[in-house]
Amino acid sequence: MDIKHILQSTDHTLLRPSASWQEIQKILDEALEYECASACIPPSFVSDAADYVNRDLPICTVIGFPNGYSTTGSKLFETEDALENGADEIDMVINLGWVKDGLWELVEDEIMQIRDLCEDALLKVIIETCALSEREIIHLCGIVTSAGADFIKTSTGFGSSGAKKEDILLMKAHVGPKVGIKASGGIRTLEDAQALLDLGATRLGASALVGLARARLYPD
């Protein structure tokens, strides 16, 4: 197991609605100390967080979170605001209702519009795999690829379940070669994290991995 690689692949995450600035600072400090890929935090903290880390850590935030059913216009405003506040990475939630209605063009167009705003910022597209059929996941792999997103992401962490090994394998088989896979939600052990990376995930979204790594590296 490569704990350093696990941490360098992790978006150290705190998206609990009641999170305080003091708790966000702790997340930022830990992400800096353990050289995480980013800190993923609520949009309202992005400006302060960007100032706090002084460009030494990528700041990730969420758009249309967690349900994805806000309008495209509101998602675009959220994205612009987050980028102006200093976000380096955007994790957007797709409209699952459009998926269920087969409105694939609307799903792709929304991703493309947000992609156009992101410019140099990374865009990760959350598809919430627990709400989807295998056919829908496969179709969305193609859409996310053609829309030019940087990552496809399994879950918000607020659904009925998070990242599953079979979903990573399915996405790996059908997403484009330039699109990364972010496994998120329910990653509770370092062994689970390593297994997801071994299967093809290139980024992890988790709140527990830093603490688990600390306990493993520096046991009492």
- Residues forming the active site: 91, 153, 182
The tokens describing 156, both together, are 């918000």
| End-to-end CA, the chain | 20
- Distance (Å, whole) CA 164 – CA 162: 6
Nearest 5°: phi and psi at 91?
Answer: -110, 105
Contact 82, 75 (CB under 8 A): no
Going by the DSSP 8-state scheme, the letter that residue 155 receives in this structure is -
Closest among 116, 192, 205, 201 to 157, alpha carbons compared: 205
Nearest 5°: phi and psi at 140?
Answer: -70, -30
Q: Which helix (H) or strand (E) holds 24?
A: helix 21-33
- Distance (Å, whole) CA 201 – CA 100: 26
The tokens describing 54, both together, are 């002084």
